[in-house]
Chains A and B, each alone.
Chain A
Amino acid sequence: MANSKLYKGSLVTIILKLLNESDKMYGYEITQKVKALTKGELKITEGALYPALHKLEAEGLLEVEVKKVDNRLRKYYRLTEKGSKETVTKLQELQEYIMTMQVIVNPKLSLE
């Protein structure tokens, strides 16, 4: 995996983006989805994921639903209205960040 510190600041945006694309997701599903989308390049550890999910829940950006699935209880996360608005803002911020980095890393390309 590439430098994980570079991804760390984007974890919340990644979670919000994934939840924005599906109705609800559970922790393990998020880790697997990220792994699949990035072809194993980015692996979110549970130590980073769950505290981030709990923080978003406490901030009212996510709501939870506990369901009995496959002989066990599973906690699903879903975006709230506030969470959907925050996703738009976070994605916009990330886009701007990527564009700024592009200007610094590859100035020629960004001028074209």
Chain B
Amino acid sequence: MINLDKENIQFIENYLENSNIFYADIRMEMTDHVASEIEHLMELEGTEFYGTFKSYMVNNKAVLLENNKKFIKGADKSILKRLWIELFKLPTLLVFGLIFFTCSKWLATIDVENLRHYMSLFPVLLIVPFCIVYVFTIKFFKIPRFSGIERLAFVYMICFQLFHFVSSFAGLYVQSKSNFYIAALIMATIAILSLLIIKITLKIINQYRSDYKHIKS
């Protein structure tokens, strides 16, 4: 049984990293797969490492890069699915109700003219806690680039653009106090989605910290 040495493994890992497979979790699994296949081929054909690696990559590099895209797409889908599941849990609905009620009461105390400013500021206010949690935990725990964590930030940035657009549009659209419940509904939806993304961020970071404790940044 042929086992590749540390230098060979590092060579494969560096090669994959230089081929834009930059997420540590995806690269780790790919490195093991490629190394296992190369060991198998070396044993079968009696060839040396570099020759086998070169011929393997000539035949499989395009497939590996395509797989990388599939893995990233899978990570995005998984995050959105988690968000969807969390959205319909009883505690989420209760918090949503509470935020909606609070927003309705608060909006009743402000002028129609001020609503536009508050609405456009609201998503910006909510991105701050996410950024603090995200940056602080990643820096504090020295977490490398994991697909689930980075794609989560990507998903939030997309959501933020959407929140900002909807919120600003609602601020312009709602012209009378009798329609303030629409503004409260939008605020509650944005707030609950932001809170859920923070909750999922912490869960994913914890999961990565426990599953991938061997990977150093």
Contacts and interface: CB of A to CB of B under 8 A. Distances in A.
A47 B211 CA distance: 22
Given A50-B71, A70-B3, A27 B29 contact: yes
Contacts of B6: 71
A75 B32 contact: yes
B144 to A, nearest CB: 12
Interface string B20-45: 00000000111111011100100000
Interface stretch (B74-82, B120-128, B131-139): B74-82
B67 A47 contact: yes
A46 B63 contact: yes
A75 B214 CA distance: 11
Nearest to B25: A75
Contact of A46 (B35, B40, B67, B211): B67
Interface string A35-61: 000000000011100110011001000
A28 interface: yes
B67 A50 contact: yes
Interface string B51-79: 00000000000011011001100110110
Contact of A66 (B9, B71, B77, B211): B211
A54 B78 contact: yes
A70 B5 CA distance: 8
B203 to A, nearest CB: 12
Interface in A58-95: 58, 64-68, 70-75
Contacts of B37: 28
B129 to A, nearest CB: 25
Interface of A: 26-28, 32, 45-47, 50-51, 54-55, 58, 64-68, 70-75
10 contacts: A47-B66, A51-B70, A55-B78, A66-B212, A66-B213, A71-B3, A72-B31, A73-B28, A74-B32, A75-B32
